[in-house]
Structures are given as structure tokens and as C-alpha cells.
Amino acid sequence: MATSRKYPMLRRSQALWGTRRMWKTRLVFWAGAIAIGLISVLFAVLSDKAQALFQALTAGGWGFLPLIITPVGFVICAWLSTSLFPGAQGSGIPQAIAARHLRDDEDRGHILSLKLVVGKILLTVIGLFSGASIGREGPTVQVGASVMLQVAKWGGMAQTRGLILAGSAAGIAAAFNTPLAGIVFAIEEMGRTYEARTNGLVLTAVILAGLASLGLLGNYTYFGVAKDTISFLSDWPLVLSCGVIGGGIGAAFSALALKATRRIRRWNALQPLHRTLFVAAVCGLFVAVIGIASGGLTFGTGYEQARSAIEGQPLPWFFFAEKFLAGLLSMISGIPGGIFAPSLAVGAGIGSSLGLVLGSSAGVAALLGMAGYFAGVVQAPMTAFVIILEMTGNHDNVIALMCASMLGYGTARMISHEPLYHALSRLFIAEAIRRRRADVLTGSKR
């Protein structure tokens, strides 16, 4: 300290070095956020092409092909995720949540890495090509978190937990073109508590990732523009029923998925690879049968079905039940893939069916059903109504969507007290603890 006061030149050089280091850190962070946006766009394009190719192959007189393609695709995804890309299984959001709780870089590296970025994108695309009822939104969260974790290493940043949060938010924002939903998701679902010191990281990452996405795809609404407006005087029974029934069915999905996942993991432990592949094959076969029985409506993300419902075309009354089963089987199969888009499709189906019963507009009913069911599945009501508002471009229905989301959340809390993503994240944390204990035991024996 005395030396720097004695030699002003040295003090200036130290300040200059500190400024250069600060700008280097910022540039690395900005580059990482832009990379998330570009990767998200690439992921979206590949996913759409894979789903379109599956539809083209199974159209016309080749309707039986899913009985072959789907189980084989599930087995390939399960094998690759077990042997080459461990940690890529499932949605990807539980991995990002778990990584925020883990303290060791090696433990985080098992579930967030650049290798998993490649694996997650590749296997999700293969899953969509196989007809799996999965989405790319959850996987994009793991991709964004992985990129930001690498940015923390390259930039020498200490705010690892905040960067994982920022990468996750940027992933959601770029995947759906929903910047507000990305921020709300980071606060409500990823963090569960608001950390003021990370707000700048989250906002900057969302803005830069969003700009990169907009630069390539332009400004768009994921499900088009919803033109119908909800009237509380005539539609309050619909708001109530979509919230309570949608939330109850969403809680049932969450509870069944957790119970099945835990049991399958315990059963697979004796013969991990063989039993994992067997479960994937069986789930894939049932997904194919359901898809054929539904006339192909349950294959893929469910984006087209949800969009048609929002635009006023009622879905078949049984669609939501078939999509529910296809999404549940795809999730417990262990293949990489998210539940965001399939859940929104199920919710649109529930709302459409309730709208037919109550004589309400199909578009309004679909919006309310999506809010109630999605809030029930993930138990994150703010994320539910904000993401639906941004994806449909209609802000006239804010209060009604809030009510449906809160009713769905309240109903789900009475049925299932464990939020789905956080319960699944504890499985990855437990794996890290077991791996650490095994390493300690191995070292002591040596």
C-alpha cells in the first residue's frame, strides 16, 4: 500500500489493470449471453425440422411407422444419454436448480457442461424426430446454464450461482421470445427467493440473448395472437373450472411423474443400462400406440394443437387425456426433453373440453386451461400467466389468467406439496453426494 502511494505510476498501472480485467469479464459475459440466444435459435430450427420430418415420414399410408421409429428412437436416446451424455436425461431445469445448490465445480460439471450442451440438443432433436411428446424449452434452460457456467470459468467470475440463474433465464427468454417470463422464471422457479445482487446479471443476459434471437427470427408471438377477451360476467364459471380442474390434473401429472421416476431409478440401479433401455423401449411403444390412436395429434411438442385451440378451433374432447399420457410416458422414459410445450398443449385441451361443456369460446377456454394446468404442474403461478400472456400477445386477459393460475397453484398445493422441478433436482443433488462419498471411500481404501 505504501509502495503504491510512493510511486503514483504504479498506482495508475494497477488501476488500469483492474479496469482491463473488469472489461474482459464483462465482454466474456456478454458473449456468453449472445451465444445462448444464437444456440437457442439453432435449437429451435433443428427441433422444428425434426418434428416436420417425423410428420412427413408417418403421413399417408405409413401410419404404422411410429411403432418402429418411436421405440427405437427412445432406446437410442436413452443409450446415448446413459453412456455418452450422463446428466442430459429429462427436462434440464432440475439440473440447473441442483447446480445452484452444489458448491463443488466437479459436481456441477456432471450436470452442466459444454459437452452436455451438445448432447442435450442432439438427443432432444432425436427424440422429436422419434415422435416423443417433449419440448425444447426445459433443455434450453440447461443449455443456457451450462454456457454461463463455462463463462464463469473463462472470465474468472465468482458469482457462479448468479450466472447459472442468468443463463437459465436467458434460455427461457430466447426459447419462447418471452423476456419477462425469463426474468419471472428465474425469480420464482429457479431461485425461489429474489437475490438483488443478481438482478443485473439476469436482466443483461435476458436482453442480450433476446436481441440475438430477435436478430435471426424477428419479433414473434409463440402461439400467434389471441383475439378473444374474457368476460367475467359470463366466463367466471370457466375461469373457476379451468383453474381448479386444470390445477388438479396438473398436480396429478406432477405426483405421478415423481413417483414413477423414483421407482424406476431404484429398479434400474441393479442393471442400469439394460433396465434403462427396457423402460425406454416400453414407454416409446406406448407413446407410438397413443399417437396412432389419436390420429397423430399427440406426437411432438403439441404446439400446432395448442395454437389452433387458441385461434378458436376446439380440440377433440379426449385430446388432453391422450397428450397427458404421452407426455408422462415420455418424461419417465428417461430420454432428454422438456415438459413446457406438451404441458401447455394438455392445458389447451383441458380448456377446450371445458369450453365445449360450458358453451364458452374455444380460444378463451384454451388460454385459461393452459394457465390452470401449467401452474398446477410446475407450481409457479407467476411464470404460468406471464409466459402465456407473452406467448399469445393479448394483455386484455391479465386478471382472468392470474385467477386461473392462482386457482391451479392452490389446488395443486393441496394435492402435491412437492414442486416438480425442485423435487427432481434433489435426485441430482443426492447423486452428487453419493458420488462424493464413493470417491472418499475409494481414496481411504487406497
**What gap in Å lies between CA 304 and CA 299, rounded to an integer?**
11
| pLDDT computed for residue 79 by the predictor | 95
Q: Are 250 and 389 within one domain?
A: yes
**What gap in Å lies between CA 139 and CA 135, rounded to an integer?**
8
Q: Are 284 and 210 within one domain?
A: no
> What's 421's domain CATH number?
1.10.3080.10
DSSP 179-219: HHHHHHHIIIIIISS--GGGHHHHHHHHHHHHHHHHHHH-S
**What gap in Å lies between CA 126 and CA 362, rounded to an integer?**
33
Q: Residue 333: is its pLDDT beyond 90?
A: yes
Choice among 30-44, 181-195, 260-274, 335-349 with the minimum mean pLDDT:
181-195
| pLDDT computed for residue 321 by the predictor | 94
Q: Residue 337: is its pLDDT beyond 50?
A: yes
**What average pLDDT does range 156-163 have in this prediction?**
75
Q: Are 252 and 202 within one domain?
A: no
Backbone angles phi, psi at 271, to 5 degrees: -135, 80
Backbone angles phi, psi at 227, to 5 degrees: -100, -20
Domain boundary residue, one of 194, 217, 240: 217
**What average pLDDT does range 388-397 have in this prediction?**
78
Domain boundary residue, one of 217, 241, 261: 217
Q: What is the pLDDT of residues 43-78, one digit of tens each?
A: 989 999 999 999 888 876 667 889 999 999 999 999
Backbone angles phi, psi at 135, to 5 degrees: -125, 175
- pTM, 2 dp: 0.88
Q: Residue 199: is its pLDDT beyond 70?
A: no
Choice among 100-114, 175-189, 370-384, 388-402 with the minimum mean pLDDT:
175-189
**What gap in Å lies between CA 368 and CA 419, rounded to an integer?**
21
| pLDDT computed for residue 59 by the predictor | 79
**What average pLDDT does range 239-259 have in this prediction?**
94
Q: Are 243 and 305 within one domain?
A: yes
For residue 344, which amino acid is it?
Answer: L
**What gap in Å lies between CA 61 and CA 137, rounded to an integer?**
32
Residue with cell 400477445: 393
Q: What is the pLDDT of residues 297-325, one digit of tens each?
A: 999 888 888 888 888 888 888 899 999 99
Q: Are 278 and 424 within one domain?
A: yes
State which residues form the domain around 298: 232-429
Residue with cell 411428446: 133
Q: Are 80 and 132 within one domain?
A: yes
| pLDDT computed for residue 16 by the predictor | 47
| pLDDT computed for residue 272 by the predictor | 81
Q: Are 251 and 155 within one domain?
A: no
| pLDDT computed for residue 20 by the predictor | 63
Q: Residue 446: is its pLDDT beyond 90?
A: no
Q: What is the crossing angle of helices 66-83 and 8-58, to 10°?
A: 160
> Which strand (E) or helix (H) includes residue 325?
helix 319-332
- Band of pLDDT at residue 443, cut at 50, 70 and 90: low
Q: What is the pLDDT of residues 8-25, one digit of tens each?
A: 554 555 444 456 667 677
**What average pLDDT does range 210-226 have in this prediction?**
70
Q: Are 188 and 328 within one domain?
A: no
**What gap in Å lies between CA 189 and CA 339, rounded to an integer?**
14
Identify the burial level of 86 via C-beta atoms within 10 angstroms of its C-beta, where 0-12 means exposed, 13-18 middle and 19 or more buried.
Answer: middle
Taking the CA atoms of the chain, what radius of gyration do you get in angstroms? 23
Residue 445 domain-assigned (yes or no) = no
**What average pLDDT does range 277-305 have in this prediction?**
92
| pLDDT computed for residue 11 by the predictor | 54
Q: What is the pLDDT of residues 115-142, one digit of tens each?
A: 999 999 999 999 999 999 999 888 999 9
DSSP 129-148: HTT-S-BSHHHHHHHHHHHH
Percentage of residues in the chain with pLDDT exceeding 90? 35
**What average pLDDT does range 377-398 have in this prediction?**
83
Q: Are 333 and 206 within one domain?
A: no
For residue 83, which amino acid is it?
Answer: S
**What gap in Å lies between CA 116 and CA 343, rounded to an integer?**
24
Backbone angles phi, psi at 336, to 5 degrees: -65, 140
Q: How many domains does the chain have?
A: 2
| pLDDT computed for residue 212 by the predictor | 78
**What gap in Å lies between CA 280 and CA 75, rounded to an integer?**
5
**What gap in Å lies between CA 206 and CA 36, rounded to an integer?**
9
Domain boundary residue, one of 166, 182, 217: 217
User: Following CA atoms 305, 41, 392, 383 in sequence, which dihedral angle do they give, to the nearest 10 degrees?
Assistant: 100
Q: Are 256 and 403 within one domain?
A: yes
Alpha carbon 43 to chain centroid distance? 13
Average pLDDT, the chain: 84
